[in-house]
Amino acid sequence: MRLTRLTLGAVALLALAGCGSGGGHTDAVPPTATGSLERLAAEVKCRPNMQTDADEIRQAICRNPDGRFILATFATDRGQREWINDAKDYGGHYLVGRKWVAVGDDGVVKALRGTLGGDLEDGVDHHAHGAAHSG
């Protein structure tokens, strides 16, 4: 599956996104933003560093005053859900909109939510999971 191969690239980028420092966030959630990767990036005041530019997924590393994050847009809802399901195995915090996702530290995605709207989702913490199963 092509999206799975692209997800592997996202995993490497997810590690980079975790390095950002979380900024403040707002409790008010606006309507969920829509549009191209460039439009969403402009909304949160970042210049996207494109990593993947394919028909089914466009993905970039972004940085703004709130920190670093991955911003990805998808051609289909199904492609987006498959990418999120695969990527969640690696942990992280996800802000999910219609055909887009932002991935980063908790503080970063909460701050982005104040501009982009969307739903917050968390990935699996394999460190905690592994500790629970160590003998």
pLDDT digits (tens, 9 = 90+) for 111-120: 999 999 999 9
Asked whether residue 18 carries a pLDDT value surpassing 60, the answer given is no
Domains in the chain, number: 1
**Whole-prediction pTM value?**
0.75
The pLDDT of residue 24 is: 45
Task: Give SS3 for 132.
Answer: helix
The pLDDT of residue 98 is: 95
The pLDDT of residue 125 is: 53
The pLDDT of residue 75 is: 97
Q: What would you report as the CA-atom Rg of the chain, rounded to the nearest whole angstrom?
A: 14
User: Can you list the alpha helix ranges (DSSP code H) found in 1-135?
Assistant: 2-17, 37-43, 77-87, 106-116, 126-133
pLDDT digits (tens, 9 = 90+) for 19-67: 444 444 446 799 999 999 999 999 999 999 999 999 999 999 999 999 9
pLDDT confidence band for 122 (50 / 70 / 90)? confident
Q: Which range of residues forms the domain containing residue 92?
A: 2-133
